[in-house]
Amino acid sequence: MKICKKHWAMLIAAVKERGMWHLVAADGQTAMENTIAELNNEEAPYDPLMACNWMVFHRGISDGGLYFAASDLCPICEAMIHTANVEFPNPDHPDQKDVYTEAQVESFWTNGPADAALQVCQEKGLVPSKQ
C-alpha cells in the first residue's frame, strides 16, 4: 500500500494547516527510526504526519482487505473509486439515501486523520488547544 503523491501532498497540507508541521520528522530516515522505536515500545516523538499515514493504512486495510498490504494502491484513491457516487443509508433518516462526492470522500480520508492527529497533539500539549 502506498499513498499517492497527490494524497500525500494533501496530508502534508492538512498537517501544516493545523499548525503541526514543526512536529514532523525532518526526513524519511528519522520517521522510520521513530516508527521502529515505537514498535519496540521505546520513547519516540509524536509525528502527526506519520500518525495520519498509519490511520490511512489502517482504514485502507479495514475497508479494503489485506490485499492492500502487498500492493502499491493508494487507499484514498481506491476509496474514491469504490465509494464516491454510491448511495448509502442515511442513519438519521432511514427512508433517505446519501451520496458522497469524490471530494467528500477525499476530504474524509485526509482531513479526518489530520483532525485526529491535532486532537492528540492538543491532549499531549504539543500544540495549543485552540489555534
Residue 76 forms part of a structural domain: yes
Alpha helices in 5-101 (DSSP H): 5-17, 28-39, 48-64, 75-83
Residue 104 forms part of a structural domain: yes
pLDDT at 130: 75
Q: What is the mean pLDDT of the chain?
A: 93
Q: Read off the pLDDT of each residue in 17-44 and give the average, rounded to a whole number.
A: 96
Distance CA 12, CA 2 (A): 15
- pLDDT of 40-62, one tens digit each? 999 999 999 999 999 999 999 99
For residue 23 the three cell numbers come to 512536529
Supply the range of the domain harboring residue 106. 5-123
Highest mean pLDDT among 62-76, 86-100, 110-124: 110-124
pLDDT at 6: 98
Lowest mean pLDDT among 25-29, 79-83, 89-93: 89-93
Number of domains making up the chain: 1
Q: Are 126 and 23 in contact (CB under 8 A)?
A: yes
pLDDT at 89: 82
- pLDDT of 97-112, one tens digit each? 888 889 999 999 999 9
Residue 129 forms part of a structural domain: no
Lowest mean pLDDT among 3-17, 41-55, 86-100: 86-100
Residue 89 forms part of a structural domain: yes
Residue 131 forms part of a structural domain: no
pLDDT at 8: 98
Residue 128 forms part of a structural domain: no
